[in-house]
Amino acid sequence: MSTVDQEIEELVMLDRRKSEIQAATGERACKAEWQRLHGRQEELKQTIAVEFGHRRGWKLSRKVFSLSQLLARRPGRTPTDYGEGLPGVMDHPYYYRLGRRPAAIACHIYDWNVNEQEAREICNRRGMTYEVVRDFPSWWFPRHTQLVVFTPLRH
In this predicted model, what pLDDT tens digit does every residue of 85-101 receive, in sequence order? 677 788 899 999 999 99
Would you state the pLDDT for residue 90?
A: 87
DSSP helix/strand/coil, 128: strand
Render pLDDT for 38-63 as a digit per residue (tens, 0 to 9): 999 999 999 999 999 999 999 999 98
Would you state the pLDDT for residue 7?
A: 94
Nearest CA to 144 out of 105, 101, 91, 103 is that of 91
Report d(CA 51, CA 38) in Å as an integer.
20
Would you state the pLDDT for residue 29?
A: 61
Report d(CA 86, CA 116) in Å as an integer.
15
Q: The pTM is what?
A: 0.87
Q: Does residue 12 carry a pLDDT above 60?
A: yes
Across the range 12-26, mean pLDDT stands at 81
Would you state the pLDDT for residue 134?
A: 96
DSSP helix/strand/coil, 150: strand
Which residues are bridge partners to 108 per DSSP? 147
Dump strand ranges (E) for the chain: 59-60, 94-98, 101-110, 128-132, 145-152
Report d(CA 138, CA 145) in Å as an integer.
6
Q: Does residue 104 carry a pLDDT above 90?
A: yes
Which residues are bridge partners to 136 per DSSP? none
Q: Does residue 148 carry a pLDDT above 70?
A: yes
Would you state the pLDDT for residue 28?
A: 60
Q: Does residue 132 carry a pLDDT above 80?
A: yes
CB 130 within 8 A of CB 115: no
What share of the chain has pLDDT > 70, as a percent?
89
Domain span at residue 42 reads 3-152
Measured CA distances, 26 to 16, 17, 31, 70, 109 (Å): 19, 16, 8, 45, 32
DSSP helix/strand/coil, 100: coil
How many separate domains does the chain show?
Answer: 1
Would you state the pLDDT for residue 25?
A: 63
Give the lowest-confidence range in 13-22, 91-100, 120-129. 13-22
